[in-house]
């Protein structure tokens, strides 16, 4: 296994996740249009409502926003307004992908993608208060367009993964915010149009064709009272990037750099870089002959490799599920202790997981059953740093315990989704 390869793979997936920008929120506008057509009786029962509509950027000013919010409050019989998000500028994600290819020097390539992107993304977004003041720290710039800008202005030998890092992105956002809203962190009188024009001018030559520069979406929540707002208001930080896994991937990368990552995780990250497929237990479904594949599957499904436990269910696992279960529960399997399962809803991921969990429970029970007295399975260790008697943390918990047979710990499992 190769630590540097694993680090490159983690950095690659971090960048992919970071650059996966949220779509222009036109669906939120459509949903509000449907919701606002409800009956008056239904509207009177509402406790909260997300309002969203399209507008021309040149029409944005404090008086317009205040009047719009007041009108929506009266129309929907809701009294309190939450934070207001504004998305400015609209362009094609597909055009951005093509421009990214050009920025990387790929002017000619064979595009074999089965389908192309059809959605749009926003140039920037920010939040303001009901009074029309900018909310400090809320400025967002399209990470896709930002990456195109960086790629066009990079040095020849620049490390792309380092160049397109989240740290660099946040640094540029911070500098933009200081330039555009420099008076205070919060409560700066709204200068949306001016800020938009400055950002559009700075990044404008890299914006793909078809840019709808005058379009924006205004989105805010209304509530019947302050208590409802405190309970249901969206408190997530405004972001154009769908960086759902980015923080976790960054944590794993840092652990790897500091040699704090267990070998199983390095093995998992670097599994495709080995030249010795047999050593990793990998089965090549493309290059192997049918006879070789049949022999491999027969061995995996041999009764001697079946798990001891079975989840009580009227349905048995499907063929490929059972292969995965046998590979993961067999102590002699070369597959490693870290594995992932990917698939759409309803395809059997949880079913597979239950079979592995129940096997671990049975295997652990077999080892624990060797002890006539359950207490004999544990070694006891005194606390030393607690403030209680004898270094305890609690008067009713005199010590902490470990299994005498460390093999019992092999059947622990951590599931992340």
Angstrom CA distances, 228 to 52, 75, 405, stand at: 19, 18, 53
Instruction: Give bridge partners of residue 400 from the DSSP assignment.
Output: 381
pLDDT of residue 1: 58
Q: Global pTM?
A: 0.71
pLDDT under 70 in the chain at which residues? 1, 37-45, 107-110, 182-190, 235-238, 242-244, 273-281
Structure tokens at 337: 């202790």
| Strand runs labelled E in 368-416 | 378-382, 399-403
Strand partners, 359: none
* Matching residue, tokens 């000013």: 61
Backbone angles phi, psi at 394, to 5 degrees: -145, 140
> Is residue 93 within 8 Å of residue 21, measured between CB atoms?
yes
From residue 13, alpha-carbon distances to 2, 339, 388 in Å are 17, 17, 47
* Bridging pattern class, strands 188-189 and 48-56: unpaired
Query: Is residue 122 a contact partner of residue 144, using CB atoms and an 8 Å limit?
Result: no
CA distance linking residue 7 with residue 2, whole number of Å:
9
> What pLDDT does 251 receive?
82
Rounded-to-integer distance, Cα 219 and Cα 52, Å: 4
Determine the angle formed by the axes of helices 143-152 and 93-103, rounding to 10 degrees.
20
- C-alpha dihedral, 328 to 332 to 337 to 341, nearest 10°: -20
Q: Write down the pLDDT at residue 407.
A: 93
Please report, for the chain, the start and end positions of each structural domain, with discontinuous segments joined by +. 1-19+244-273, 21-241, 277-411
146-157: pLDDT as tens digits: 999 999 888 878
Buried b (16+ CB within 10 A) or exposed e, 38-67: eeeeebeebebbebbeebebeebeeeebee
């Amino acid at each position: 296994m190769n630590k540097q390869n694993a680090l490159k793979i983690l950095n690659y997936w971090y960048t992919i996740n970071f650059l996966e920008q949220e779509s222009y929120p036109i669906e939120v506008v459509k949903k509000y249009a449907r919701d606002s057509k409800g009956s008056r009786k239904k509207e009177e029962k509402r406790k909260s409502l997300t309002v969203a509509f399209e507008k021309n950027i040149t029409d944005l000013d404090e008086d317009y926003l205040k009047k719009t919010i007041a009108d929506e409050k009266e129309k929907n019989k809701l009294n309190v307004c939450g934070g207001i998000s504004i998305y400015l500028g609209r362009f094609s994600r597909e055009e951005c992908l093509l421009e990214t290819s050009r920025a990387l020097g790929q002017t000619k390539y064979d595009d074999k993608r089965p389908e192309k992107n059809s959605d749009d993304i926003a140039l920037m977004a920010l939040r303001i208060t009901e009074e029309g003041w900018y909310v400090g720290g809320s400025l967002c710039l399209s990470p896709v367009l930002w990456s195109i800008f960086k790629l066009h202005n990079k040095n020849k030998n620049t490390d792309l993964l380092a160049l397109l890092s989240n740290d660099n992105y946040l640094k540029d956002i911070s500098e933009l915010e200081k330039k555009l809203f420099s008076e205070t962190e919060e409560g700066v009188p709204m200068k949306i149009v001016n800020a938009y024009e400055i950002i559009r001018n700075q990044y404008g030559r890299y914006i793909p064709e078809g840019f709808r520069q005058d379009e924006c979406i205004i989105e805010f929540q209304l509530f019947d009272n302050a208590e409802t707002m405190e309970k249901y208001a969206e408190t997530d930080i405004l972001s154009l990037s769908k960086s759902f896994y980015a923080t976790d991937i960054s944590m794993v990368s840092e652990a790897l750099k500091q040699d704090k990552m267990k070998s199983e995780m390095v093995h998992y990250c670097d599994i495709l870089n080995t030249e010795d497929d047999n050593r990793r237990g990998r089965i090549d479904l493309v290059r192997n002959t049918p006879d070789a594949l049949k022999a491999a599957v027969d061995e995996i499904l041999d009764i001697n490799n079946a798990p001891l436990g079975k989840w009580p269910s009227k349905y048995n696992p499907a063929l490929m599920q059972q292969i995965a279960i046998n590979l993961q529960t067999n102590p002699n399997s070369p597959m490693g202790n870290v594995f992932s399962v990917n698939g759409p809803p309803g395809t059997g991921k949880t079913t597979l997981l239950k079979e592995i969990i129940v096997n671990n429970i049975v295997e652990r029970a077999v080892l624990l059953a060797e002890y006539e007295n359950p207490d004999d399975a544990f070694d006891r260790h005194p606390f030393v740093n607690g403030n209680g008697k004898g270094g305890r943390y609690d008067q009713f918990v005199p010590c902490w315990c470990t299994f005498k047979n460390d093999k019992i710990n092999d059947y622990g499992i951590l599931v992340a989704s």
